[in-house]
Structure 1
Amino acid sequence: MATAGRSGVGTNQEDVRRHNLGTALGHVHRAGRISRAELTARMGLNRSTIAGLVAELESLGLADQAKPSGTRIGAGRPSVDVKARTGAYVLAVDLRVDGLTVARVGLGGVVRARATGPVPPDHDPYAIADSVVDLMRLVVRDVEPNAALVGVGLGVPGIIRGDDGLVRLAPNLGWHDVPFTKILSERLGPIAMPVLGNDADLGALAEHLRGAGVGVDDLVYLSGEVGVGAGVIVGGRKLEGAGGYAGEIGHMPFLPEGKLCHCGARGCWETEIGAPAIALAVGCPAEQVGALGEFLEGVHEATPDLRVVGRHLGRGLAGAVNLLNPRVIVLGGYLRSLFPLVREDVDAELQVHGLAAPREQVLVTLPGLGGDSVLHGAAELAFEPLLADPVGRLATACLDVDSALAG
């Protein structure tokens, strides 16, 4: 019994150490650079323990210590800084209806390389998986020697089943129960098991950690591509729902006798504020709808039809404000270009339909990460196993991705 007890204590101590190591790495990753004194304050551990954790992160190739930056405050020797090192990286994928972006992202959220490409017009998942791998080959060509690939994350405009990455429904891709994780993993082989997330959820995660919602625990990220989805952060945690499908705000019933939606229902909100509705309002040709955001950049004044779209946007946002009471609503995708044109109409509808108390607390704004919110969110998703257990994840990481993809 005594031996078993000592073994249990040892296991618990090792678990605590590895947990603390991951927590320290998480702080370094999110900050990019942080002082050891700040790490000590955030983690509530003594200085010698923090020094040991930082030394281990250095030995794993995940962090470096550097001379302190910024202004020295107080007496005594200034604390050493800890900064993320590019010894580990992930591949992040933003799959949209009209195109693909793949990036190599290092610790600290730094994009080291990116490549873009089209998607097949029929959105065949097998052909899309082939295109993803082709773009991955481009972004790893100049990867540093001995750098470790620790994850692959993808943002998909659809409803994702969390336990196996099955795309239950992506109406604007025409996908129903597509096992895209399995399809892509067959092409990646031993490199890394890809992890899929809903694009709006990933946009919300990225804006919460690195963008317009840093320090904000209640946030809604509205993703506007062809359709509309929402990622929701409540009390600092992602709102998932019973099956992980929460946030399909674009399919909120809006006009009972409205237009037919891709999902099969009639009158969904996205039929009034989605890309086809906006394109029609501004005279964007059908063949340019995929580049609607760029087209809107050339529009300098809202047409009467576009103002109607703005009012529909504001009315729907009022519903989100009344239901969720967020501090920040971030408008992503083509909504970034639409909002400046129809801001007054959006604000007017919020005033009419938003309850005063939650309306007074909300800020409607544009992404702090520009057009890269989903891409950064996919990277954060891929980094999660490393941040949970740096030692364990590095032990299974791929060190020669270029050769593996070539094979």
Structure 2
Amino acid sequence: MASAGRAGVGTNQEDIRRHNLGTVLGHVHRSERLSRAELTARMGLNRSTIAGLVTELESLGLAEQAKPSGARIGAGRPSVDVKARSGAYVLAVDLRVDGLTVARVGLGGIIQSRATGPVPQGHDPHAITDSVLDLMRLVVKDVEPGSALVGVGVGVPGIIRAEDGLVRLAPNLSWRDVPFAQILGERLGSIGMPVLGNDADLGALAEHLRGAGVGVEDLVYLSGEVGVGAGVIVSGHKLEGAGGYAGEIGHMPFLPDGKLCHCGAHGCWETEIGAEAIALAIGCPAERVGALGEFLEGVHEASPDLRQVGRHLGRGIAGIVNMLNPRVIVLGGYLRSLSPLVQEDVDQEIAVHALTASHELVRVTLPGLGGDSVLHGAAELAFEPLLADPVGRLATACRDAEAALAV
């Protein structure tokens, strides 16, 4: 989550050039458009070097130059703008307990196509893989010929071992030590291995780069689905923990004699604020939890039971404020729909339980990316190899995803 890095790092001139090429692409990818003058200032390189790098990205189909969009400042010719082109794209997967979304995402974070579907009953990883591939086939049908598929990113509601995509635990999917990256990768064939990330971590990444947390160095993204997780950014960097498993805040002990959680413990926070607790409070049948968002849209006044969910949410947020001292807390998943109904209760609990000094600094808000935070985060994860080495990644990219997925 740190910036693309210093210009000019490398062991020889070719390494330096390729590093700088990726750095320029990273700046362009994360901004709607930039002038060449802005790129020059950000990277500390001379104008001719920047012009050469931009020209090379144009030749690779990754960027294009355009007339300046802003007002002219100072004397001389206005600097040309640079913006991303659709010569490369990734496939992003948001795997939830109650549904699947697959999107084709271009450089610049543009969602070009999407498809949604149910998760197979029983959550068998092989059956889920079949469903993911079906949705992928739908979103690549209208890809521009010659465009390069440069990666696949998957958000999973569980604890992921980063080095090999092993899902150590996803209690709401009933997964334990499931090699999902390997299972999906074997079916993707020439497209290559996917990269997996925890859904809340990916939501935090996306909101930090493109959403409600742009320019914020200390952020928490709360993913409220059937389970509850947190993606945490501290000083601009993801908080990972010793094994990369930090952020399982839904399993924070909350009520000593509380309900049984899917993880096997009693009284976890997510049993009081997750989808099942919200559904019970608004009378949504258990078999319709997957449509909880629609039910919440029809609720105009919070019942006493729903207000109690709000109080539990606020009290837990107060603990996060005291422990992590973030600038922004983003409420994602079903918490996005719940928040307006119980805002007063949430605010009251935070005011009572949060330390004043930390409370004064924090802003609790909704996602800037709406319901697409995890999708965008999965896309950013998949784009990382291209941004590190555009030339090298394009050399191995899949140029005909539709044919590859037909196998």
TM-score (norm 2): 0.97
Partners of 2:293 and 2:233 in 1: CA distance: 25
Partners of 2:65 and 2:330 in 1: CA distance: 35
Asked if 2 retains the 8 angstrom alpha-carbon contact of 1:90 and 1:382, the reply is yes
How far is the alpha carbon of 1:76 from its aligned partner? 1.3
How far is the alpha carbon of 1:294 from its aligned partner? 1.9
2:46 is matched with 46
Asked if 1 retains the 8 angstrom alpha-carbon contact of 2:167 and 2:175, the reply is yes
Structure 2 counterpart SS, 1:189: helix
Q: Where does the alignment leave 5 or more consecutive residues of structure 1 unmatched?
A: 1-8
Q: 5 Å matches for 1:8-407?
A: 11-407=11-407
Structure 2 counterpart SS, 1:56: helix
How far is the alpha carbon of 1:14 from its aligned partner? 1.5
The letter for the 1-side match of 2:387 is: L
CA deviation vs aligned residue, 1:255-286 (integer Å, no higher than 9, x gap): 11111100011110001101111111111111
How far is the alpha carbon of 1:70 from its aligned partner? 2.0
Aligned length in residues: 399
The letter for the 2-side match of 1:23 is: T
Partners of 1:166 and 1:343 in 2: CA distance: 38
The letter for the 1-side match of 2:97 is: V
Partners of 1:302 and 1:65 in 2: CA distance: 52
Structure 2 counterpart SS, 1:217: coil
The letter for the 2-side match of 1:124 is: D
Asked if 1 retains the 8 angstrom alpha-carbon contact of 2:10 and 2:19, the reply is no
How far is the alpha carbon of 1:11 from its aligned partner? 4.7
The letter for the 2-side match of 1:275 is: A
How far is the alpha carbon of 1:33 from its aligned partner? 1.2
Asked if 2 retains the 8 angstrom alpha-carbon contact of 1:32 and 1:107, the reply is no
CA deviation vs aligned residue, 1:161-191 (integer Å, no higher than 9, x gap): 0110000000000000000000001110011
The letter for the 2-side match of 1:286 is: A
Structure 2 counterpart SS, 1:231: strand
Asked if 1 retains the 8 angstrom alpha-carbon contact of 2:199 and 2:374, the reply is yes
Partners of 2:75 and 2:215 in 1: CA distance: 29
Partners of 1:193 and 1:31 in 2: CA distance: 28
The letter for the 2-side match of 1:339 is: S
Q: Where does the alignment leave 5 or more consecutive residues of structure 2 unmatched?
A: 1-8
Partners of 2:74 and 2:325 in 1: CA distance: 40
Partners of 1:324 and 1:74 in 2: CA distance: 44
The letter for the 2-side match of 1:125 is: P
Asked if 2 retains the 8 angstrom alpha-carbon contact of 1:293 and 1:336, the reply is no
Partners of 1:269 and 1:294 in 2: CA distance: 23
Partners of 1:192 and 1:25 in 2: CA distance: 22
Asked if 2 retains the 8 angstrom alpha-carbon contact of 1:140 and 1:401, the reply is yes
Tell me: CA distance 1:96–1:10, structure 2 relative to 1, closer, same or farther (3 Å).
closer
How far is the alpha carbon of 1:10 from its aligned partner? 9.3
Q: Percent sequence identity over matched residues?
A: 85
How far is the alpha carbon of 1:57 from its aligned partner? 0.6
Partners of 1:169 and 1:32 in 2: CA distance: 37
1:5 is matched with none
Partners of 1:131 and 1:175 in 2: CA distance: 17
How far is the alpha carbon of 1:192 from its aligned partner? 2.0
Asked if 1 retains the 8 angstrom alpha-carbon contact of 2:318 and 2:353, the reply is yes
Structure 2 counterpart SS, 1:190: helix
2:6 is matched with none
1:6 is matched with none
Structure 1 counterpart SS, 2:191: coil
Structure 2 counterpart SS, 1:307: helix
- Spell out structure 1 runs of 4+ moving beyond 3 A: none
